[in-house]
Structure 1
């Protein structure tokens, strides 16, 4: 039997620098500065492992021997003590990991996939507003379907889409926690959905202004302010609010505005930039906006950053309109359907919609730029008080 307990408490502090065997694989490594480290040597599956047990300043000889026996027992059962200790630490740490910590880590890891690195807050805000205030301080291991049900029940029917997004984001957070090795119930969100039941909320379309009324509204946007100019360009181009609000001078080349692929919502071909042809009226609006640009952004807010969608919406509300800025896309689409015979694929492309299946899009080599230019020029003529008469767009094979 190997000799054990070779060292004494007194010798631990008085020994010269070097390596000293206490027996049964427990070693003391003394340093030149008088400090030292306890190290346990064990053999697992025929491979020697060295495991640190702490410094002599923190761990006494007695405690080192007790710890060594604990880990030797695992080695005798063919378990790697280093891996088992790491696993125990992860489990202990996991019980202390709150949902708030996990949610923030999940958000950080996904920023590169999100529009503008997630700075607009659309990914994180459902969690921040509706989940974290009630569940954020809980360890993720304690979150179950009942906790989730009780959290989302107040908005499940009244704010169905928001609740759905919050639940989906929470599901992502739980999967993120599981990937970190934490003990979570990955089915909790599905169970909560079953407990909450089917939502009674009926989706409603965003209020839109009839295309016949757009010219009068456009004419009212005449004071040259950032908000008026932004709404004018929004109407003229038919783009969504976010790309317009973050419009940067670098995106404009002559009479074409190129929206980066990552800024295009809902595009399946998200690696392709989207070109917007600019009418003469749109170019005039841009020229005026450039005089108020800040940091290259054409529509800056008063304090910092860019104008918000709420700013434009509030202007319309104060003017007595129920329609919202996003609704001008519907106004344009209705005009295309009722006042032109624009082909479906051209009309949809104007709005930045992906048209056709994946195979069809892969073989299509045109974005109908010139056809869209003609239509948007006529739309500009309509909204500035000109005619909205029907005209024809003829598709040419291979036109670009």
Structure 2
């Protein structure tokens, strides 16, 4: 049996320039006293070979022995440890750029453009659920249009909007990979779109209550519960559900509700807060809601945090209505169009919509607060007539 462990760490450090055996094929080759390399000598297919195991003293004696043992096991099994290491290195390099890693990196790069830095997960979730679940562990350089088509085909027609979002997000990831210098086919998503064909689906709009029926429903919200009050404020202000659900007591001051920019759905990179003037009825709802406030949240849930997105919807379902809370925005907008002569810009601003192009918005400094106050007062009077 070949002798092993002939060296010690102390003796290795004391050795001068030369080649020194540790046994069983492991050698320390020193260029000078304090510098050298570890080498493993072996024979494969009748040919003598040397395999570098790392620089000395960066690689310790113990680490060199472990590497030599692993290489020796490979050689005993009739394989070349040098070639096996090269293959493993190539595989590692190839797998360094998995689609999942690229997707996470692309998401991080785009966070600043997303609402709340993408915390809600709406940007990433279509990609994660419908693409990464199947292609996430694939090297991005190997993904082609066939892979993408086969991945999205099951939902291309049945979940058309989600599938389209997933494909668009994937396109961003492929372009991100190309920007990193990786060899990817950035046209793969468009080729896959062509293979998938035109989507076959009907767009389902959110059911909206006709504006003439809203006063009757509003009057039914008479229990002063958190859900009833939240629905009343949502209807009175024409707001989306998220700003209402996450409303804070300190956002209401001097007859104005100031919604933080990151709670507003709209133009990318929106940085300005949105002000909503409160009608007399809204102020009464606000005072009733403050009695339920907890830790500053105006509409707290039973356990912790605020009421969920489904809380108001479930209430409407329980009353036998197929309409949804978000539909009251359409009710409000239709009422404005059919019963008032409100200027277009004022009406759209009341909806929290972005009006005009970049240049026009840069020169227009008003948010029509007082004109909207009168409009919302008329709406409240209509609701409580």
Whether the TM-score (by the shorter chain) exceeds 0.5 is: yes
Please state how far the C-alpha of 1:176 moved relative to its aligned partner.
4.0
Question: Against the structure 1 CA distance between its residues 56 and 150, is the aligned structure 2 distance closer, same or farther, given a 3 Å change threshold?
Answer: same
Question: Against the structure 1 CA distance between its residues 14 and 349, is the aligned structure 2 distance closer, same or farther, given a 3 Å change threshold?
Answer: same
How many residues were matched structurally? 341
Return the alpha-carbon distance in structure 2 between the equivalents of residues 12 and 315 of structure 1.
Answer: 75
Question: Against the structure 1 CA distance between its residues 17 and 373, is the aligned structure 2 distance closer, same or farther, given a 3 Å change threshold?
Answer: farther
Question: Against the structure 1 CA distance between its residues 380 and 106, is the aligned structure 2 distance closer, same or farther, given a 3 Å change threshold?
Answer: same
Deviations 1:207-251 (A, max 9, x none): 211111000111112222222221111111112222222222232
Q: What is the SS of the residue equivalent to 2:345?
A: helix
Aligned partner of 1:251 in structure 2 is 251
Matches within 5 A, 1:368-387: 368-384=368-384, 386=385
Question: Against the structure 1 CA distance between its residues 115 and 249, is the aligned structure 2 distance closer, same or farther, given a 3 Å change threshold?
Answer: farther
Q: What is the SS of the residue equivalent to 1:309?
A: coil
Deviations 1:292-323 (A, max 9, x none): 22332222233333222222222222222222
Q: State the TM-score, normalized to the length of structure 1.
A: 0.74
Aligned partner of 1:330 in structure 2 is 330
1:313 equivalent to 2:313? Answer yes
Return the alpha-carbon distance in structure 1 between the equivalents of residues 145 and 174 of structure 2.
Answer: 12
Please state how far the C-alpha of 1:269 moved relative to its aligned partner.
7.0
Pick from 58, 66, 79: which aligns with 2:63? 58
Aligned partner of 1:168 in structure 2 is 168
Aligned partner of 1:287 in structure 2 is 287
Aligned partner of 2:241 in structure 1 is 241
Return the alpha-carbon distance in structure 2 between the equivalents of residues 295 and 28 of structure 1.
Answer: 70
Q: Which runs of 5+ in 2 are unaligned?
A: 1-5, 20-28, 39-54, 69-87
Please state how far the C-alpha of 1:116 moved relative to its aligned partner.
2.6
- Following TM superposition, where does structure 1 have runs of at least 4 consecutive aligned residues deviating by more than 6 angstroms? 28-31, 88-91
Matches within 5 A, 1:180-219: 183-219=183-219
Please state how far the C-alpha of 1:362 moved relative to its aligned partner.
0.9
Pick from 7, 11, 14: which aligns with 2:11? 14
Return the alpha-carbon distance in structure 2 between the equivalents of residues 30 and 238 of structure 1.
Answer: 81
Please state how far the C-alpha of 1:93 moved relative to its aligned partner.
4.2
Quick check: 1:29–1:38 contact (8 Å CA) kept in 2? no
Q: What is the SS of the residue equivalent to 1:132?
A: helix
Q: What is the SS of the residue equivalent to 1:355?
A: coil
Please state how far the C-alpha of 1:20 moved relative to its aligned partner.
5.6
Quick check: 1:208–1:324 contact (8 Å CA) kept in 2? yes
Please state how far the C-alpha of 1:369 moved relative to its aligned partner.
0.3
Return the alpha-carbon distance in structure 2 between the equivalents of residues 172 and 366 of structure 1.
Answer: 36
Please state how far the C-alpha of 1:276 moved relative to its aligned partner.
0.8
Return the alpha-carbon distance in structure 2 between the equivalents of residues 213 and 21 of structure 1.
Answer: 96
Please state how far the C-alpha of 1:355 moved relative to its aligned partner.
1.4
Return the alpha-carbon distance in structure 2 between the equivalents of residues 117 and 179 of structure 1.
Answer: 22
Question: What do you get for the CA RMSD once the two structures are aligned?
Answer: 3.6
